[in-house]
Structure 1
Amino acid sequence: MRLQLVVPLKTGDTRKKGDKGVEELNGQLWHVSGPLDIEDARDVKFHCISYVWGLGREKPGSFFDNEISISDKTRPALIAAIRAIKASGFEADGPIEEAFWIDALCVPYADGPDRYGTLESMGHIYSAAESVIIIIQDPAWKIILEASSGTTPDALSYDDMQALEGDKWITSVWTYQELVNARSIHFAPIHPEGYDSIVKGERFFNCTGFSLEQWKKRNNKTTSESLIEFPTLNTFEDTLADLATSSYLGRSVFQVLANMACRTYDPFFPANRLLASLGALTQEVSWGPPSMSLSDLSEKVMATCEADNDYSFIYTTDERDETPGRQWRPDPKQIQTDLSKPVHLIPLLSWSSWGEPMGATQTAHKDDVGFWLDNMIRLQPSEAPGEEVRRLLENWLYRPKDLTQPGAASKGFFRHTESDELNFGEAMLKALKQMRFSGTQEPVICEDGLFFSLKPLHERQDVELFAASSIRWIFGSPGLVRWKEGDKMKFSAGVFTGIVRHERAEAILVI
């Protein structure tokens, strides 16, 4: 790959302020290095800068001889990062390196393999950096600084939580991949006031989940009400959970897509969602031809996961491939007709999941017989679910009536009064809709739970239902449905809510 960095002029360099490609920043002269043709960015010491572009632009040629218009936040963000590494609170493993990677200056400008290869290597670049320096604007900076000033995390006020809820950095798709790949994280302010201040990431992160939990307790709110009031902060809390385990458990593509679905990106650049997902999935340098379309990029994400034996991307809302032998697979050639509505690799639910056992994902294998999905549970339709199923789902759905029980205030997706208005199947669907489920209204009743399919099944032939045992939610797991249309096999995905019986898991021949 070709890596460009913003670095100080070396001793003996005769260029001066005002020369082409040279800028004076914080009392030093800097330039953008020529592309370093390297195999591994970890051979170079540098810092990555994370910031929000915003709407303002600098004209071509106005900063480091930029060839295209760039964000007017690039200049102050770079200055803030230069000052941040010299602040007393900045921590590094060794001597602090004065070298920075910032997208507006370091991603090659011209369309072609170098540009797209760099964009597909974000996971490699951010994981190789000594640190990620996050440049924050007010009011978020003042909130972060105040929340991190004590020895223990303080709960944020409602107004502060609402201010963070609308912060563009917290909501961005790029934020997820930057955080889960970072070796060290610092926050710094973009404005001149407080340039000598810096906050280590974990000091602020510790107070986020604490604040959500305290808000629920103090105001007698449920998980459902918290999601309505603070959807962004709840997504951020899930991101921090993935960050906490990323160094030893890794992430399934299903986990990544579930978090990305709650995040924002410029609709005129829909590839950013998949590029950020790819960066969160692999820390390798981009391989193969560059992805020039959403279809190419969707295929690269799936192929990257298949190489790691992670097939959890099947649990998406995508239409399926019509190619014989691949009908189970999301179709990368789907056409996105609405810029605001992506169609590639959209997860069944935007809800945090885990692997069972911890760190596992949906695996598969091929042999002479065909393609097999591992650790799947065949579901048996029934007239009514058992009492054990009802208890499991109702205990998850409803807060206990007696709030004096230990931990009762933090339990339940809904208030217990919801059970007077809806049966548990209707309540389960209502909860799934809050998690962005877009499937059918009527579940298939099974012995061990309820299966909510993406597509209506009542007129399908030879319908078979399966639940994953290796990807879990507290209330169930993602699932797959298979049926026949004439002599063709068809597939779609769904959500199973109920008891996941691991002892019944087996490999199923898919096709």
Structure 2
Amino acid sequence: MKLFVRLHINGQGWGLLEQDTPSTPNQLSDFICVSYSWGLGRSLNPFHPPYPVSDRTLPVLATTITQRPTARKIWIDAFCVPPPSQPSLRTSTLQSMGFIYSRAAEVIVVLTSAALPVLRQALLSSALSQSHLDILEAEDWVTRAWTYQEAVNAHRLRITCDGSPPDTAVDSMPFFNALGRALVSLAPTERARYPRLNAFEELMADCAVAGYLERSALQVMAMMDERTQTVPEDHFYAMMGAISTEPARAVEGVSPCEAFMRLCERKGDYSFLFSSEGREEREEMRWRPREGGLKPGGEVKRGCLVLENVVMLQLASPGEDVMAFIERWLAGFKPYGSWPHLEPEQAAFEALRALGFSGSSEYLGAECGLVFPHDPVPRSAKNVEILVAVEIMWTLGAPALVRYRDNAGSGVLSYVPGVFFGKIQNGIRVPAAVNLF
């Protein structure tokens, strides 16, 4: 295809070129992907006028060329994602970001010029100071929705900044290690100054194991919960890129949220049903989160969802050994303090709330522990059952789903997500599958 030169950067002519991308997993192409935050400033797009792009795009591209002077193919979103005038192609591309970034030979993160002192320190393999942490805390890149999937899909990730001189790109792992050592050395009260970087630690861990573990929908949803985006649909497109590195199978007329859930269902990953979103109205689909809003697998058979790798618990009073487990866990919850004046059930809720839980304090007792639903279960509820995902065990428990029928109303089957706080005992039978109607 003929290349139309539109830009001259660092003495080189650059234009758009169509290229086939390898569809075989782990088969890399010969292009570099760029990861950066757009910021607030805008300028006209030289390739797709009159649509705006970030005023950082051209400086970021120049920085990438400086760091990789031999590069001949660079993928950058502002120019390579089709414009809104091509909606089908644009949607397909946005849903295939995981595929694109996973096939790149390298992904280069470009922070703002303020981060140059941090990069120089990381290149020396020296410990970062609090002044360096203050700089990184102000970087939008660490909390943007798109940058999460761009980083975790990279086969090789390097970090640089705007206007940096040649050879000032640092491999991600030495950078992450330097940041991690600095965060670990802080007292809990000091760490509270860095909410963005505390969340960034999870991205660092995800990058470290990305080549070994397949992340679930629930894991990605949790990682994306506090991240920001310019438009709401980007949140779902970024999550799709984080759970799939295959080309998108776009469906016309489907919202990004629905496309994300359909992608999960095709993979047999139904962990998204633990979302705190409300449920659908149709009785046979009330297990499914309403549109808009660690890994149990499942498949749909004869109109029913068959959920695997869960245990079904009945309402009961927790045993003494279970309450002892809860009290031991609370006793070790030092960063946020403990609540010795509260009953264990109340202290467990306070601990969950300190961890970001926004659900109800009206817990349900089970043989193995306590369940805190996102919304209170009506006192008139009948046939209450608790489903716990046994392959997503946290240190304090696991995700849970409460199923019941409302005896006061129409008797419809309802589902409420929640948190199981306790310990699955060895004697608890794990069913092969549980049908959700």
TM-score (norm 1): 0.78
Question: Where does residue 337 of structure 1 map in the other structure?
Answer: none
User: Which residue of 295, 307, 314 corresponds with 1:373?
Assistant: 307
Q: Alpha-carbon deviations, 1:311-356, whole Å to 9, x = none?
A: 1001011111122421111122x4xxxxxxxxx1xxxxxxxxxx4x
SS at match of 1:272: helix
User: Which residue of 70, 77, 83 corresponds with 2:66?
Assistant: 83
SS at match of 1:305: helix
Question: Where does residue 117 of structure 1 map in the other structure?
Answer: 92
Read off the aligned partner of 2:54 and give its amino acid letter.
Answer: S
Q: Is 1:510 paired with 2:436?
A: yes
SS at match of 1:504: coil
SS at match of 1:321: coil
How many residues align? The count is 428
Q: Is 1:58 paired with 2:37?
A: no
Residue correspondence of structure 1 range 380-459 to structure 2 within 5 A: 380-383=314-317, 385-399=318-332, 412-415=334-337, 418-457=338-377, 458-459=379-380
CA shift for structure 1 position 463? 1.7
Residue correspondence of structure 1 range 178-257 to structure 2 within 5 A: 178-191=150-163, 193-215=164-186, 219=187, 221=188, 228-257=192-221
CA shift for structure 1 position 443? 1.2
SS at match of 1:249: coil
Whether contact under 8 Å (1:186, 1:198) holds in the other structure is yes
Q: Alpha-carbon deviations, 1:222-259, whole Å to 9, x = none?
A: xxx57743322222111122222221211000000000
User: Which residue of 229, 237, 251 corresponds with 1:275?
Assistant: 237
Distance 1:497 1:468 in 2: 12
Whether contact under 8 Å (2:276, 2:417) holds in the other structure is yes
Give aligned-pair identity as a percent.
Answer: 32
Read off the aligned partner of 2:365 and give its amino acid letter.
Answer: I
Change (3 A) 1:111 1:423: farther
Distance 1:369 1:46 in 2: 44
Note the aligned Cα RMSD (angstroms): 2.5
SS at match of 1:325: helix
Question: Where does residue 28 of structure 1 map in the other structure?
Answer: 12
Distance 1:433 1:160 in 2: 30
Q: Is 1:265 paired with 2:229?
A: yes
SS at match of 2:398: strand
Change (3 A) 1:195 1:97: closer
Question: Where does residue 165 of structure 1 map in the other structure?
Answer: 137
Q: Is 1:309 paired with 2:273?
A: no
Distance 1:291 1:103 in 2: 23
Read off the aligned partner of 2:129 and give its amino acid letter.
Answer: S
Question: Where does residue 488 of structure 1 map in the other structure?
Answer: 412
Question: Where does residue 396 of structure 2 map in the other structure?
Answer: 475
CA shift for structure 1 position 25? 0.9
User: Which residue of 105, 110, 125 corresponds with 2:79?
Assistant: 105
Change (3 A) 1:184 1:38: closer
CA shift for structure 1 position 102? 0.6
Question: Where does residue 326 of structure 1 map in the other structure?
Answer: 285
CA shift for structure 1 position 496? 0.3
Whether contact under 8 Å (1:413, 1:431) holds in the other structure is no
Unaligned ranges ≥5, structure 2: none
CA shift for structure 1 position 184? 0.6
Whether contact under 8 Å (1:66, 1:105) holds in the other structure is no
TM-score (norm 2): 0.90
Unaligned ranges ≥5, structure 1: 11-19, 87-95, 335-343, 345-354, 356-360, 400-410
SS at match of 1:229: coil
CA shift for structure 1 position 44? 4.1
